[in-house]
Amino acid sequence: MILSGIAQRYAKALHDAALNAGKADEVFADTQSLLGLRTEDKSFQHFIESPQVLTEDKVRVIKTILEGRVSKLVVDLLLLLVEKKRFMFIEEIFEAYRYLYEKEKGIVEVRTITAIPLEDSLKEELKAKLESRINKTVRLKPEVDPDIIGGMILVMEDHILDGSIRYKLEQLRRRLGETRVVDMD
């Protein structure tokens, strides 16, 4: 996911404030819970993002529902986003915060793209091998793409390891296309 500059700035400010307050873990848990709630119940999102609803009403609802239930830093961020009419960036901000939090904790996300779903035992084996190689905690994000035919593609930060059959066939096709055939007659 490519995150906007706005989302990155808000996430960095939230992360810095959470680190300074010693509440990075609490803020992380709150942001992930709110992301889950947001996908489960779209009514809150529609209410907050609706231009017909007054800002004062949005502020009142956020305070009523969330104060005392989530960290003050997260509530303050939500109130600021409502005030600045930037609430539509909330998902990106929370994703950017997750990235900063996990980077601070030494956790790296690795996308595993396979033609069919990986079995749990294979996921655990792959996770263990990757962790021993990069000396970081790995969080696998499995994806299925039947177009790769077989094999696996690993995407980690800015590195791509393509071991898919599709890629190998493309390489073979390219090499065959570059091969010159000489008639010896």
| pLDDT tens digits for range 153-166 | 999 988 999 999 99
Q: In this structure, which amino acid lies at residue 175?
A: R
CATH 1.10.520.20 fits 5-103, yes or no: yes
This prediction has a pTM of 0.78
The model's pLDDT over 84-116, given as tens digits with 9 standing for 90+, comes to 999 999 999 999 999 999 999 999 999 999 999
Candidates 3.40.30, 3.40.50, 1.10.150, 3.40.630; correct CATH number of 107-178?
A: 3.40.30
Q: Which residues contact 161 (CB under 8 A, 6 or more apart)?
A: 153, 154
Pairing mode, strands 107-114 and 159-162: unpaired
> For the residues 171-176, what does the mean pLDDT come to?
93
Domain with CATH 1.10.520.20 in the chain: 5-103
The pLDDT tens digits of the residues spanning 11-41 come to 999 999 999 999 999 999 999 999 988 777 7
**Locus of tokens 């059959």:** 165
Token pair of 173 as six digits: 């096709």
